[in-house]
Amino acid sequence: MQLTNRAKLVDRRPLSLAEKFYVPAIVKGMGITLKHMFQKKVTINYPEETRPFSPVFRGLHILNRDSEGRENCTACGLCAVACPAEAITMEAAERLPGEEHLYREEKYAAKYEINMLRCIFCGLCEEACPKDAIYLTETFAPSNYSRKSFIYGKDNLVIPHPKERPDEYAKAKGLVDERKLKANKTTA
Ligand code: SF4
Ligand code: SF4
């Protein structure tokens, strides 16, 4: 009994001389190749060319600074609690007198790590953050040979200082603003 009528009978006729020399198969194959030569390419010349990301794409994280260069994160741990992959770990520290130019809040993350091999880029950490501190961008972790290098610390995550590296800060901030804009559009 047939469940569908898509079954095909196998042709078991003896091969002709041309078929024995693969002539019809070669002609058919060349025809397919020729047809594809004149069609629009589906591949692109990566990395010179990149495809536009989907508006909801979520890539690598960044930790935000304010316009004076102070780190926004107050090590409240809400992002770590929200993370379904348990990818985020941190150690909190008290801000000392004289460190007001470094950290915006009285408590800050002395250590902040995200294991990119565990992360599923769900964006829940970004949504949970009450301090405008963590964002996911449109870049992805470059490939590497060691698992350890996928544990991103503050040196990888915190965006450049606006006074020390203004151009890089503006670029990173642009990613944050773009992200906020998209989030507003998708919730509107
Ligand atoms: S994107 Fe999701 S999985 Fe990745 S660190 Fe944030 S909450 Fe965790
Ligand atoms: S990134 Fe945001 S949610 Fe996570 S610890 Fe820092 S302030 Fe809290």
Residue with CA closest to ligand 1 atom 8: 83
Q: Which residues pair with 112 in a beta bridge?
A: 90
Q: What is the 3-state secondary structure (H, E, C) of 104-147?
A: CCCEEEEEEEEECCCCCCCCHHHHHCCCCCEEECCCCCCCCCCH
Architecture of the domain made up of 61-187: 2-Layer Sandwich (3.30)
Show the tokens assigned to 41. Answer: 């390419």
Show the tokens assigned to 60. Answer: 């690598």
Cα distances from 21 to residues 12, 105, 159, in angstroms, run 17, 79, 64
> Which of 100, 116, 105, 126 has its CA nearest to residue 153?
116
User: For residues 124 and 82, is the Cβ–Cβ distance under 8 A?
Assistant: yes
Instruction: Identify the pLDDT of residue 182.
Output: 67
Question: Which residue did the predictor score with more confidence, 93 or 137?
Answer: 93
Q: Best mutation site among 64, 65, 72, 78 for ligand 2, i.e. most ligand atoms within 8 A of its Cβ?
A: 78
Instruction: Identify the pLDDT of residue 29.
Output: 97
For the stretch 73-84, pLDDT in tens is 999 999 999 999
List of residues 6+ apart from 140 with CB closer than 8 A: 59, 60
Instruction: Identify the pLDDT of residue 186.
Output: 58
- Looking at every residue in the chain, the average pLDDT score rounds to 90
Could you tell me if the CB of 62 is within 6 A of ligand 2? no
pLDDT at 94 exceeding the cut of 90: yes
Ligand nearest to the CA of 116: 1
pLDDT band at 42 (very low <50, low <70, confident <90, very high): confident
The distance of Cα 103 from the centroid of its chain, to the nearest Å, equals 27
Mean pLDDT confidence for 107-120: 96
pLDDT at 183 exceeding the cut of 60: yes
Query: How many whole angstroms separate alpha carbon 9 and alpha carbon 73?
Result: 67
Tokens 């985020």 locate to 88
Mean pLDDT confidence for 34-53: 89
pTM (2 d.p.):
0.74
Q: Best mutation site among 81, 86, 118, 122 for ligand 1, i.e. most ligand atoms within 8 A of its Cβ?
A: 122
pLDDT band at 9 (very low <50, low <70, confident <90, very high): confident
Each domain of the chain, given as residue ranges in start order, spans 61-187
Instruction: Identify the pLDDT of residue 106.
Output: 95
Q: How far is the CA of 121 from the centre of ligand 1 (A)?
A: 5
